[in-house]
Structure 1
Amino acid sequence: MLFDRLTSDEAEAVLKESPVALIALGAVENHGNHLPLSTDNDLSEAIVQKVAAQLENVIVMPPIYYGQVWSTSHYPGTISVSSETLKGMLVDIGRSLFHQGVKIFAMINAHMGNLDVMKDAARQLHDELGMKVLYLTYPGIGEISAKVLESERVHPTYFHACELETSYMLYLAPEKVDMTKAIRNYPELPLEFDVTPIPWHNVTDSPVLGDATLATREKGEAIIETAVGNMVRVIEQVRKHFYTEG
């Protein structure tokens, strides 16, 4: 149910059913030479479609294509918006939806730089309206990732254009991947990397963090389908509890 494709009468009828609203969040960001700038958007949109296909009474909002991309902002092609701008967008969209009958708003994200903003927006919508807001970024994939991935991680938390993310793209948007340009890149991160802001171009010429050459469609499918299943279960459980308690 693509919300912006509805007519006014259709939207009014759909909103009376208090649907769960899904929105894809991504970014326009340099992902090396083997992946496009649209990688995070391609991934989040495809995941939203998969989640929506497994749920009833949902609406899919137009995606937000720009994200907070401070870390890689110096690489060619990256476009960043401020945390304040992104949060304002999410809160305003949430308010508009709430006042038209949507009580559960699920943000499905594929860009790590958006994490803090989503949480802040969710807290504001919760405190202001009592709206139930979910921020979902590949939930519950730790076990399956450890099982199928072969390469070491550059960082225990961060991943970017590596075996993991390239595998996602090979599964969800293979026509946009050029594996002949995939590289292995293991920059030495300074000790203070996690405790002070450090633009990535200060430590590596490429935003690829890890070994993209080991990526496969099969790895991407295993991890993505696990994440999608977890999102569907969370949304269903939240909807059940939210309306039962209400």
Structure 2
Amino acid sequence: MQFDRLNSEEARDVLRGQPVALLSLGAVENHGNHLPLGTDNDLSYGVSKLVEERIDNSILLPPIAYGQVWSTSAYAGTINLSLQTFTNLLVEIGESLFKQGVRIFVMINGHMGNLDAMKIASRKLYDELEMKVFCFTYPGIEEISAEVLEAPRVHKSFFHACELETSYMLYLAPHEVRMDKAKPNYPVIPEDFDLTPTPWHMITDTPVLGDPTYATREKGETIIKFAVDNMVRFIESAQNNKV
């Protein structure tokens, strides 16, 4: 159920039932030449819709299309929110939902830069309201990704416009993908990359990390469905426990 499509009377009736609120988080960020700036938005909202279809008594909130994008802020097209601004936005949305009866608030994220804000916001909502908040960024996909993906990875934790993310897009938003412009990129990662702030433009002229030419729709579907299954399992468990 798309929450912003309800009228006043419908919204009141839905909120009385304490629905699960699903909020997709993305970003406007450079993803190379083969993917659009709104890739993270396409993915997070696409995943959110898949989750909403399977969760009884849930509402799909309008997505947040901007995020915290420090690492790639020097590339053309990237728009960055500060950590404080983004955190405050999430907290205030959660507080507003709680006042109207929502007790389970689910953030479905498509951008790694949003993780810090999500953690801070979810802890604040828990401490102040005891609100149940889930922070999902493709949960539990490590093993299935290792089985499905073929190209070497640039970094053990980061993925960006690579085989994985391009496969996601080929599944959820194939009309936005320009595979004719997909090219591999394997920058040399400094030894202290994880130990000190390192803007990506200091090590590579494109934010593509890996080889998107290996991407397929089937890979994206397999991994996304696995992640969605995990999200649904956690949410239904919280519903059954009457949070």
Relative to the length of structure 1, the TM-score reads: 0.98
Q: Alpha-carbon deviations, 1:81-137, whole Å to 9, x = none? A: 001111111100000000000011000000000011101000000001110000000
**How far off is 1:71 after superposition?**
0.2
Query: d(CA) in 1 for partners of 2:239 and 2:106?
Result: 11
Q: Secondary structure at the match of 2:78?
A: coil
What runs of 5+ residues in structure 2 fail to find an aligned partner? Answer: none
**How far off is 1:240 after superposition?**
1.5
Q: Secondary structure at the match of 1:194?
A: coil
Note the aligned Cα RMSD (angstroms): 0.6
Query: d(CA) in 2 for partners of 1:204 and 1:69?
Result: 16
Task: Tell me whether 1:216 sits opposite 2:211 in the alignment.
Answer: no
State the 4+ residue runs in structure 1 displaced beyond 4 angstroms. none
Paired residue for 1:203? 203
Task: Tell me whether 1:65 sits opposite 2:65 in the alignment.
Answer: yes
Paired residue for 1:191? 191
Paired residue for 1:36? 36
Paired residue for 1:163? 163
Which AA in structure 1 matches 2:110?
A
Which AA in structure 2 matches 1:83?
L
What runs of 5+ residues in structure 1 fail to find an aligned partner? Answer: none
Which AA in structure 1 matches 2:89?
M
Q: Secondary structure at the match of 1:191?
A: coil
Q: Alpha-carbon deviations, 1:34-69, whole Å to 9, x = none? A: 000000000000000000001100011111000000
**How far off is 1:152 after superposition?**
1.0
Query: d(CA) in 2 for partners of 1:81 and 1:182?
Result: 28
Paired residue for 1:175? 175
Which AA in structure 2 matches 1:229?
D
Q: Secondary structure at the match of 1:13?
A: helix
Relative to the length of structure 2, the TM-score reads: 0.99
Query: d(CA) in 2 for partners of 1:40 and 1:182?
Result: 17
Query: d(CA) in 1 for partners of 2:89 and 2:10?
Result: 24
Paired residue for 2:139? 139
Task: Tell me whether 1:46 sits opposite 2:38 in the alignment.
Answer: no
Paired residue for 2:23? 23
**How far off is 1:238 after superposition?**
1.6
Q: Secondary structure at the match of 1:24?
A: strand
Query: d(CA) in 1 for partners of 2:159 and 2:147?
Result: 16
Query: d(CA) in 1 for partners of 2:236 and 2:218?
Result: 27
> Share of identical aligned residues, percent?
64
Paired residue for 2:115? 115
Q: Alpha-carbon deviations, 1:10-57, whole Å to 9, x = none? A: 000000000000000000000000000000000000000000001100
Query: d(CA) in 2 for partners of 1:20 and 1:147?
Result: 32
Paired residue for 1:91? 91
* Matched residues, number: 243
Which AA in structure 2 matches 1:136?
F
Paired residue for 1:127? 127
Q: Alpha-carbon deviations, 1:126-149, whole Å to 9, x = none? A: 001110000000001111100110
